[in-house]
Structure 1
Amino acid sequence: MSQIFLTHTIALMSSLAEPPAWTQPLPEAYPPADMAMYHLPTGTYQTRAALAVRGGSFRDKRQFAASAVLVQHPKGDLLIDAGFGAGVAAHVAMLPRFMRAPYQAGRTVSEQFDAVGYDRRRLLGVLLTHSHWDHTSGLDGLLGSPVWMNANERQYAAEDPDGKVFRLVGQGHEVHEYGFESRPYLGFTNTYDVHDDGSVVVVLAGGHTTGSVIVFVTLPSDRRYTFIGDLTWQIDGIRRRVERPWLLSKLADSDPDQLRQDLLRIIALEGLMQIVPAHDLGSYDGIPLLAPAAATQSR
């Protein structure tokens, strides 16, 4: 009993102070009636909870998602991240030994597109939340699709050691560099409204990598989602208000202070939208898988 009490106490001590809940009206959005969204899981890799969030247990093994999300819009579709690619084994081998983890590869985005007859001409590009290997590996099967990046992330991907896999799989891809406006959005100041209708809004959250982004999506049902990339690796980071373990933060994050501020901004939104950390498989619940009907949806 004392050990359980001690573990609980340590977890509480590591929690961030609870930010005030967001009480202002949510930003206006006018998603078209034929807009839709799909989850494309491409595999998982195993990490212990103790290495994912502060207060996590070494006995708790988490299956980290490697997924993409297709957002269909009559002005053109976007893929948020690319998941595992056909060359994932080689991509894992390029990582420092301490970063390699047991993984299970599923069907790549490219294979899922082909299975349903998806017309790739509809795809405006692959919008990366950031350029780490487990978000970019699948670019190896998406040649011809532009990669959407902001200037900060483009520089990070070109220079940082953790951009090594991207520099391999990004060869042959046009880079569509987008910029931000100084227009507030749910506490964030640098924002980009992709379709000018509030349905897909990208905000700069440069704590994990210097150009990391969060993507807010509003569907015609008025259901809202926020895809937070690696702001936290697991939903525990939101619900328990905990950051990454100190050492992992030092290794993984470009600006831990900025990341903490952005994490608190997202925590304040809990309950107002579905928050999806990229590697928390359960957080994708309710988002349908890509099916043949999606391939023929009218634009």
Structure 2
Amino acid sequence: MSPLHLPTAWSEPLPEAAPPREMALHQLPTGTYETRAVFAFKGGSFSDKRDFAATSVLVQHPKGDLLIDAGFGSQVAAHIQSLPRIERAPYRLGSTVSEQLKASGYDRGQLRGVLVTHSHWDHVSGLDDLQVPVWINEGELEYAGKDKGGRVFREVTSSHPMHRYEFKGGPYLGFSSSLDVYDDGSVVVVPARGHTTGSVITFVTLPTGKRYAFIGDLTWQLDAIRLRAERPLLLRILADTDPKLVREDMLRMIALADTMEIVPSHDVTAYDGIPLLPT
């Protein structure tokens, strides 16, 4: 297996950020489904069974909170059943995001919406239990409206308001444009259009200075970043709308790997260190 070439590590100063001291980050794991590593990244073993995470992340901010993705919802069994048979996998449903928010006594009036990294079923299933705006860009909304991969999204968001955002900001960490959600550099969204036509990466900077990059399905596991390993060829053809763009953005993230925690949506271990929502 030949890895991607090693890009030059990021050596410029990181973008300025002024996160308020009240800002916090929590993980809300909603379940897992089983996939073999051989299908996740080049060089993965067939005997290596991985539990793929379906985890939402809550960003708490004085200007209003955001969830990044929605994880599994209460109707996940039906959502999985709607997939082609070859895509169905053994899964485990834990507590949905909605159930976790309720158990913690969370005030949903603080929640501005759910920012989806992209519209595939395992990122949006939980929207059917969350009647809040869906933050989505026009490219992803168009993809979700017509691609077979957006079927579950169309079902669970039929009554949801759509908060359409644009990338009106300038370049950010090598990406061509950006959206500074709170205008303080604490949460910055950039386009990463290779997996789907409107996929995004969300950079989060905490008051401690700790930085995270929630990369959605740019890669499925951290091994892909560490080993510079793309998806296997067949999976690149089947799963990505533009494998070349995925490769380019992977190299950008590999170059940033020493500056922040990179969190692929489906790597259970990548969420280590992010606290659960207190109950």
Of 253, 268, 274, which aligns to 2:255? 268
Of 34, 38, 56, which aligns to 1:68? 56
Query: When the two structures are superposed, what TM-score results if normalisation uses the length of structure 1?
Result: 0.93
Q: Between Structure 1 and Structure 2, whose CA radius of gyration is higher?
A: 1
Identity of aligned residues (%): 64
Q: Does 1:117 align with 2:96?
A: no
Q: Please list the CA deviations of residues 86-132 of structure 1 after superposition, one character each: whole Å capped at 9, or x if unmatched.
A: 00000000101110000000000000001011111100000000000
Q: Which residue of 1 aligns with 2:196?
A: 209
- Name the SS of the counterpart of 1:195 in structure 2: coil
> What's the offset of the Cα at 1:271?
1.4
Unmatched tracts of structure 2, length 5 or more: none
Of 6, 9, 22, which aligns to 1:21? 9
Q: Does 1:47 align with 2:47?
A: no
Unmatched tracts of structure 1, length 5 or more: 1-9, 293-299
Please give the alpha-carbon distance, in whole angstroms, between the structure 2 residues aligned to 1:283 and 1:185. Answer: 23
Q: Does 1:197 align with 2:187?
A: no
Q: Residues 119-268 of structure 1 correspond to what in structure 2 (within 5 A)?
A: 119-143=107-131, 145-268=132-255
Please give the alpha-carbon distance, in whole angstroms, between the structure 2 residues aligned to 1:74 and 1:83. Answer: 24
Aligned pair count reads 279
Please give the alpha-carbon distance, in whole angstroms, between the structure 1 residues aligned to 2:232 and 2:75. Answer: 30
Q: Which residue of 2 aligns with 1:77?
A: 65
> What's the offset of the Cα at 1:181?
2.0
Question: One-letter code of the match for 1:248?
Answer: L
> What's the offset of the Cα at 1:185?
0.5
CA contact (8 A) 1:147 1:174 kept: yes
Query: When the two structures are superposed, what TM-score results if normalisation uses the length of structure 2?
Result: 0.99
> What's the offset of the Cα at 1:190?
1.6
- Name the SS of the counterpart of 2:183 in structure 1: coil
Question: One-letter code of the match for 1:268?
Answer: A
Please give the alpha-carbon distance, in whole angstroms, between the structure 2 residues aligned to 1:117 and 1:142. Answer: 15
Please give the alpha-carbon distance, in whole angstroms, between the structure 2 residues aligned to 1:190 and 1:154. Answer: 18
Please give the alpha-carbon distance, in whole angstroms, between the structure 1 residues aligned to 2:44 and 2:71. Answer: 25
Please give the alpha-carbon distance, in whole angstroms, between the structure 1 residues aligned to 2:86 and 2:235. Answer: 12
Q: Does 1:103 align with 2:88?
A: no
- Name the SS of the counterpart of 1:98 in structure 2: helix
Question: One-letter code of the match for 1:250?
Answer: I
RMSD: 0.6
Q: After TM superposition, where is structure 1 displaced by more than 6 Å over at least 4 residues in a row?
A: none
Question: One-letter code of the match for 2:213?
Answer: T
- Name the SS of the counterpart of 1:190 in structure 2: coil
Please give the alpha-carbon distance, in whole angstroms, between the structure 1 residues aligned to 2:177 and 2:205. Answer: 18
